[in-house]
Amino acid sequence: MTSPLISVIIACRNEEVYISKCLDSLIANDYPKDRTEFFVIDGLSTDRTLEIVQDYQVRFPFIKIFSNPKKVFPAALNIGIKVSGGDLIFIIGAHATYDMDYFSKCVKYSLEYNADNVGGVLNTISADHNLTGYLISFVLSNSFGVGNSKFRTGSVDITEVDTVFGGCYKKEVFQSYGLFLESLTSSSDYEFNNRIKKQGAIILMVPEIKVTYYTRSTLKKFIINNVRNGFWAIYPIALAKRFPISVRHFIPLIFVSGIIFLIIVSIIWSFFLVVSLVLLIFYLIGSLYFSCEKIDKKYYLLPFLPILFFILHLTYGIGSIWGAIRVMLFKMNNLGRSSLLL
C-alpha cells in the first residue's frame, strides 16, 4: 500500500536559533521522502532565518519557501494550505523538534481512528538549561499551571482533546470548515480546532507521539508571553463567530479578578483580609502539592515553584482582564455603529 502524500507546513519568523534544529528533526523523519513535501512560510524575518532555510533548500530540493507578507502565524498556515497537495497536512511550529517517527505515527493513527487531527505530547524544556528556564518548563507542563491542556501535561491513553500541537490534519478538514482566522494573530489554532470539534471533528492526542518544545528561559520573556497568551485567550470572543474558548481559559481571569476584589474590599472590611490570607494559604498548599508530582527529588526547587505558579496565573490573568476589556469596548463600538445605522 502506498503511503499517503503528506504536506508539512513550517511557519516561522525570526527563528534563527531554532529553525535548523526543527528542520533537521523533520528531515530525519522515517517517512518516505518521495511522499513528503515541505513548505517553509517565512514572515519577513529580520534575522538569519531565511538565509538558513535557503541553505537547506539547496541541499534538500523538496523544501519550498514562501513569503508571508502579513507576518502573522495564521496567514502563514493559510498560504501553506493553499499550495499543499498532500492527503494529510502537518502544521509545524518552528520552536520545536520532532521525534524521527513523528510523521509515520501521526499518519498511522489518523488512518486507524479516522481522526481529523492528530498530535502528540509536548516535552517542554528550557532553551538555555538554567534554573529559571527549568522552573518555567515545569509550571508549563504541570496541570496546576495549565489546567487540563493534555498535550502539555500528557496522558497515559489516546485521548480525544480540544486542541493539539503540531497537528496532522486531513486535507478535507480545510475544504469543509475553511481556513485559519488571520485576525487571531495568537490563538488561531485553538479557535480552528474548537470550530471543527463543535461540528463533529475528531481531534486525538496520542501519548507515544513526541515533540520537544523549547520554552522561554528568562522571567521577562515568560511574563510578556503569559500576558500575551492571556489576552488572546479571551479577545477571540470579539472576533470569532462561534464561542472560541474553553472554561479553563476563564480561570486565570476569575483568579486575578478575585484578588483585585478582595484587595479593594479588605480596605473597607478587615474580615476580607483574613479571607484573603486563608485563600493564599490554600493556593500555596495546592501549588506545593502539584510541585511534588514530577519534581524527581529536586526538593530544593520547592520554594521557587509556588512563586512561578503565581506569576504564571497572575500575568496570564492580567492579560485576560485586558482582553475582556477590549471585548467589551469592541462590542460597545459595534453597538454604537448599529445604533447609527438605525
| Residues 279 and 324 placed together within one structural domain of the fold | yes
Please indicate, yes or no, if residue 78 is contained in any of the structural domains: yes
Positive/negative CA dihedral, 121, 197, 225, 21: positive
Please indicate, yes or no, if residue 224 is contained in any of the structural domains: no
Q: Whole-angstrom Cα distance, residue 298 to residue 164? A: 30
| Residues 47 and 181 placed together within one structural domain of the fold | yes
Q: At what angle do helices 251-268 and 271-291 cross, to 10 degrees?
A: 150
Question: For residue 203, what are the CA distances in angstroms to 97, 117, 159, 190, 206?
Answer: 21, 5, 8, 12, 10
Q: Please check the confidence at residue 212 and state whether its pLDDT lies above 60.
A: yes
Q: Which value, to the nearest 10 degrees, does the dihedral of the CA atoms of residues 151, 155, 157, 163 take?
A: -20
The whole-number average pLDDT for the span 198-212 is 93
Whether residue 252 contacts residue 311, with contact meaning beta carbons closer than 8 Å, is answered with: no
Please indicate, yes or no, if residue 162 is contained in any of the structural domains: yes
The DSSP secondary-structure symbol of 4 reads P
| Residues 101 and 192 placed together within one structural domain of the fold | yes
| Residues 127 and 188 placed together within one structural domain of the fold | yes
Q: Please check the confidence at residue 244 and state whether its pLDDT lies above 60.
A: no
Q: Please check the confidence at residue 11 and state whether its pLDDT lies above 90.
A: yes
Share of the chain above pLDDT 70, in %: 94
CATH number of the domain within which 147 lies = 3.90.550.10
Residue 210's DSSP bridge partners are: 121
Could you report the per-residue pLDDT of 137-147, keeping only the tens digit for each?
Answer: 889 888 888 87
| Residues 77 and 149 placed together within one structural domain of the fold | yes
| Residues 184 and 102 placed together within one structural domain of the fold | yes
SS3 label, residue 169: strand
DSSP E strands: which ranges in 193-300?
203-215
Q: Please check the confidence at residue 340 and state whether its pLDDT lies above 50.
A: no
Residue 273's φ and ψ, nearest 5 degrees, are -65, -40
| Residues 35 and 182 placed together within one structural domain of the fold | yes
Please indicate, yes or no, if residue 140 is contained in any of the structural domains: yes
Q: At what angle do helices 219-234 and 251-268 cross, to 10 degrees?
A: 100
* Residue-number span of the structural domain to which 332 is assigned: 248-341
| Last residue in a domain, options 192, 216, 240 | 216
| Residues 106 and 160 placed together within one structural domain of the fold | yes
Q: Please check the confidence at residue 48 and state whether its pLDDT lies above 50.
A: yes
Please indicate, yes or no, if residue 258 is contained in any of the structural domains: yes
Please indicate, yes or no, if residue 310 is contained in any of the structural domains: yes
Q: What is the pLDDT of residue 1?
A: 67
| Last residue in a domain, options 200, 216, 232 | 216
Please indicate, yes or no, if residue 229 is contained in any of the structural domains: no
Total count of residues recorded for the chain: 342
Could you report the per-residue pLDDT of 249-291, keeping only the tens digit for each?
Answer: 788 899 999 989 998 998 888 888 888 889 889 999 999 888 8
**Of 246 and 118, the one with more pLDDT:** 118
| Residues 260 and 150 placed together within one structural domain of the fold | no
Q: How many domains does the chain have?
A: 2
Please indicate, yes or no, if residue 237 is contained in any of the structural domains: no
Grid cell, residue 268, equals 473597607
Whether residue 141 contacts residue 213, with contact meaning beta carbons closer than 8 Å, is answered with: no
